[in-house]
């Protein structure tokens, strides 16, 4: 195989109760990444379309993660990468994760798959580090493993997939303001109150139990964030209003997608997800604020191969 084109999907990190450790892979929004072998060694980013981003491999996260992989695995060729960005950087649905994970996934296939997708997470995290100054694995784990994912310990490369209840659908609204992950992480405090730690862990445990027992009500009751959301929600226009109309329109729960500014609602069924999206739109229409809305089921596979040559 000399060339591969992949679809690298968007993802929602944190899911309210799991800051930096929970994620879910989305289905119909993502980047398309083509990687080709070259005679000349090294990595080159030949083209980026869809968004204005650097082609410098030390600045573009796809180049950073690819370089990390090739620093560990010596190969006798080089690679050129073309990226079509379907996800806007700074939107809160894992734009950097899609590019970081997509390039290492594609290169791994081209070199005969010496790594499992789980092992690729550590390389993709270098891209996250370059984008946000922190090596969080929640988005890249979701993109590389698919479905709902859990990061137990990224230093020990301990990640696993959780169960996906069949009817889960997501609504994501992206108000068109840019909020950099770095800036959104800067408002998070180092210390938490013990009572908040207890409430957050109780919700996280119950949420995971709800995924396995497919108890949609329990999932909804557990989608709460008493630690990070109060600090970050002030950065998102009309967050509380978006949340209340989502719940009133039938969402199981609603919270900040990753580091924002996108807001997600988790729903039982696509019809409810569409209704929730329509209710969310009305809030931003009143403000005259530009937005995108995405409705997505859970992508249980993760990155998909579109073409090989």
Q: Is 67 noted as a catalytic residue in this protein?
A: no
- Say how many CA atoms lie within 13 Å of 227 toward its Cβ: 25
> How many CA atoms lie within 13 Å of 200's alpha carbon, on the beta-carbon side?
21
Q: Which stretch binds ligand HSE (CB under 6 A): 31-39, 112-120, 165-173, 178-186?
A: 178-186
Region binding ligand HSE by CB under 6 A among candidate stretches 51-59, 131-139, 153-161, 203-211: 131-139
95: contact with ligand HSE by CB under 6 A: no
Question: Between 166 and 197, whose beta carbon lies closer to ligand HSE?
Answer: 197
As measured in angstroms, the least distance from the Cβ of 120 to ligand HSE is 18
Closer to ligand HSE by CB, 110 or 303: give it: 303
What is the Cα–Cα distance from 178 to 291, expressed in whole angstroms? 11
Buried b (16+ CB within 10 A) or exposed e, 230-269: eebbebbebbeebbebbbebbbbbbbbbbbbbbbbbbbbe
Residue 138 engages ligand HSE in binding (rule: CB under 6 A): yes
Cβ(19)–Cβ(225) under 8 Å? yes
The answer to whether 289 touches 48, Cβ cutoff 8 Å, is no
Residue 31 or 138 having the CB closest to ligand HSE? 138
Task: Kindly state whether residue 181 participates in binding ligand HSE, applying the rule CB under 6 A.
Answer: yes
42 has which bridge partners? Answer: 78
The yes or no reply on residue 27 touching ligand HSE (CB under 6 A) is: no
Q: Which residues are known to be catalytic?
A: 128, 181
Residues that bind ligand HSE (CB under 6 A): 13-14, 19-20, 94, 136, 138-139, 181, 184-185, 258-259
């Amino acid at each position: 195989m000399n060339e591969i084109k992949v679809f690298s999907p968007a993802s929602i990190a944190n899911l309210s109760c799991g800051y930096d450790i929970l994620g879910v892979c989305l289905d119909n929004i993502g980047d398309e990444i083509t990687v080709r072998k070259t005679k000349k060694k090294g990595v080159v980013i030949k083209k980026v379309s869809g968004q204005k981003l650097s082609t410098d491999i030390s600045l573009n996260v796809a180049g950073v993660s690819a370089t990390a992989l090739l620093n560990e695995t010596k190969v006798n060729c080089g690679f050129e990468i073309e990226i079509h960005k379907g996800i806007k950087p700074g939107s809160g649905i894992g734009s950097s994760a899609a590019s970081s994970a997509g390039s290492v996934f594609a290169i791994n296939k081209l070199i005969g798959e010496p790594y499992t997708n789980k092992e690729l997470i550590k390389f993709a995290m270098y891209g996250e580090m370059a984008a946000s100054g922190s090596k969080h694995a929640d988005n890249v784990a979701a993109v590389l493993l698919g479905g709902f994912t859990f990061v137990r310990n990224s230093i020990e490369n301990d990640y696993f997939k959780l169960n996906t209840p069949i009817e889960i659908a997501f609504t994501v609204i992206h108000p068109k303001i840019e909020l950099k992950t770095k800036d959104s992480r800067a408002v998070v405090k180092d210390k938490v109150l013990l009572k908040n730690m207890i409430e957050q862990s109780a919700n996280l445990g119950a949420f995971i139990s709800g995924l396995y027992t497919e108890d949609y009500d329990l999932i909804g009751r557990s989608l709460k964030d008493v630690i990070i959301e109060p600090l970050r929600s002030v950065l998102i226009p009309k967050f509380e209003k978006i949340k209340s109309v989502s719940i009133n329109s039938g969402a199981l729960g609603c919270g900040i997608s990753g580091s924002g500014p996108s807001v997600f609602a988790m729903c039982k069924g696509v019809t409810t997800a569409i209704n929730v999206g329509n209710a969310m739109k009305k809030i931003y229409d009143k403000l005259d604020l530009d937005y995108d809305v995405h409705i997505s089921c859970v992508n249980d596979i993760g990155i998909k191969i579109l073409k090989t040559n």
